[in-house]
Amino acid sequence: MAYAGEIEAAMKEMQVLENQFALITGASRGIGRAIAESFAAAGCNVALASRNLQESRTAAEEIAGRHRVRAVGLQGDVSRQESVRKLFQQLRAWSSDRLDILVCNAGYPMRPEIWNTPLGTTPADKLQAWYFGVFSTDAMGAVFCTFEALPLMMARRSGRILYVSSTPALEGYQGGPYTMAKAAILGLMRDVAREYGKHNIRVNALALGNIETPATTDQLDDESRRALAAEAPLKRWGKPEEVGKAALFLASELSSFITGQVLVVDGGTVRR
Q: Which stretch of DSSP H or E encloses residue 104? A: strand 101-104
d(CA 102, CA 46): 10
Q: What is the pLDDT of residue 144?
A: 98
Residue 107, pLDDT > 50, answer yes
Range of the domain at 97: 4-212+220-265
Q: What kind and span of H or E run contains 164?
A: strand 159-166
Give the whole-angstrom CA distance, residue 156 versus residue 98: 8
Instruction: Output the CA angle 202-178-105, nearest 5 degrees.
Output: 40
Residue 10 pLDDT > 50: no
pLDDT band, residue 6 (cuts 50/70/90): low
Is 270 part of a structural domain of the chain?
no
d(Cα 144, Cα 136) in Å, to the nearest integer? Answer: 10
Is the predicted pLDDT of residue 251 greater than 50, yes or no? Answer: yes
Three-state secondary structure call for residue 205: strand
Is 271 inside a domain boundary? no
- Whether 136 maps to a domain, the answer reads yes
> What is the phi/psi pair of residue 73, to 5°?
-100, 130
d(CA 152, CA 161): 12
User: Domain containing 173 — which CATH number?
Assistant: 3.40.50.720
Q: Are 42 and 16 in contact (CB under 8 A)?
A: yes
Domains held by the chain: number? 1
Closest C-alpha to 103, from 164, 186, 61, 38: 164
In a domain, 260, yes or no: yes
Angle CA 46–256–189, to nearest 5: 70
Mean pLDDT of the chain: 93
Asked if residues 48 and 27 have their Cβ atoms less than 8 Å apart, the reply is: yes
Which residues are known catalytic residues? 178
Find out whether 140 and 62 touch, Cβ atoms under 8 Å: no
- The predicted model scores a pTM of 0.93
Residue 14 lies in a domain: yes
Examine residue 55 and state whether it is found in any structural domain, yes or no.
yes
Say if 272 falls within a structural domain.
no
Write the single-letter amino acid at 130.
Answer: W
Q: What are 30-80's pLDDT values in tens digits?
A: 999 999 999 999 999 999 999 999 999 999 999 999 999 999 999 999 999
Query: Does residue 270 register a pLDDT over 60?
Result: yes
Gap between the terminal Cα atoms of the chain: 31
State yes or no: pLDDT of 154 exceeds 70: yes
Q: What percentage of the chain reaches a pLDDT higher than 90?
A: 86
